[in-house]
Amino acid sequence: MPTEFIDNVKGFLLNPTETLIAHRYESLGDALRYFVILLAIFGALNGIMMGLGLSMAQDLASASGGMGAFGAIVTTLVAIVAMIIFGVIGLFIGGVILHIFVYIAGGRKDVSTTIRSAIYSATPNLLFGWIPFIGFLAGIWSLILQVLAIKELHEISTARAVVAVILPFILMLILVVLALSFFLISGPTITHAHY
């Protein structure tokens, strides 16, 4: 693995502010290459875990010896390809949505800056998100890193960056509550027949 990639991972995990400042003017293409490598690693780790899980389940269900090495390799390769495709699509959709809130919070850089911040902040989650409990902590670190990335790359205050990152979650929570309320209110009603 290139030393630049490893240095970036170390920087985003252990010294994020300095690393973000150093990447302030990095191109979106360079950031995307970094992201695709992260997605491939995450896909491989998830694929291996899924392959092992499927193999163990088949071993328990039958005496056929599970899916074997070929099945585990295929599962891993499918997971890598799927992770890269859906990860990049999700990055751009999520990046545009986040950019709207960054703009509301006062960030005036372009959308590619917001997408780069999403890439950098995904580092802990994509490296450790597949590990039980540690994945939860990695998700929290990714959220904190997202605030730092928005702050540094858009050059806005920490409070504005927090608003930009937290506002979409609050809005999504409100929409879920409204949808559930609507479903419960307009759901099927039970009528009692009188005989």
Over the stretch 135-172, which tens digit does the pLDDT of each residue have? 999 999 999 999 999 999 999 999 999 999 999 989 98
Give the total number of structural domains in the chain.
1
| Residue 191 within a domain | no
User: Would the CA dihedral through 84, 87, 90, 92 be positive or negative?
Assistant: negative
- Evaluate whether residue 141 is within a structural domain: yes
For residue 195, being part of any structural domain is answered with: no
Domain annotation covers residue 101: yes
pLDDT digits (tens, 9 = 90+) for 71-110: 668 878 888 899 999 999 999 999 999 999 999 999 999 9
Q: What is residue 132's predicted lDDT score, i.e. its pLDDT?
A: 82
- 3-state class of 99 per DSSP? helix
140 lies in a domain? yes
Per-residue confidence (pLDDT) for residue 130, from 0 to 100: 84
Comparing CA positions, the residue from 49, 114, 41 lying closest to residue 83 is 41
Do residues 125 and 175 lie in contact, with contact meaning Cβ atoms separated by under 8 Å? no
pTM of the predicted model as reported, rounded to 2 decimal places: 0.82
CA dist list (Å): 177 to 163, 165, 170 = 20, 20, 11
Q: pLDDT higher for 52 or 127?
A: 127
The per-residue pLDDT for 64 is 47
Decide if 63 contacts 69 (C-beta within 8 A): no
Burial 78-109 (b: 16+ CB within 10 A, else e): ebbeebbeebeeebeeebeebbebbeebebeb
Give the structural domain span for 47.
3-186
**Phi, psi torsion values for 166, nearest 5 degrees:** -80, -35
Q: What is the mean pLDDT of the chain?
A: 87
Task: Tell me if 192 is assigned to some domain.
Answer: no
Residue 194 lies in a domain: no
Question: What pLDDT does 63 receive?
Answer: 47
Neighbours of 143 (CB within 10 A): 15
Higher pLDDT, residue 79 or 7:
7
Q: Give the pLDDT confidence of 32-51 residue by residue, as tens digits.
A: 999 999 999 998 888 777 76
104 within a domain of the structure (yes/no): yes
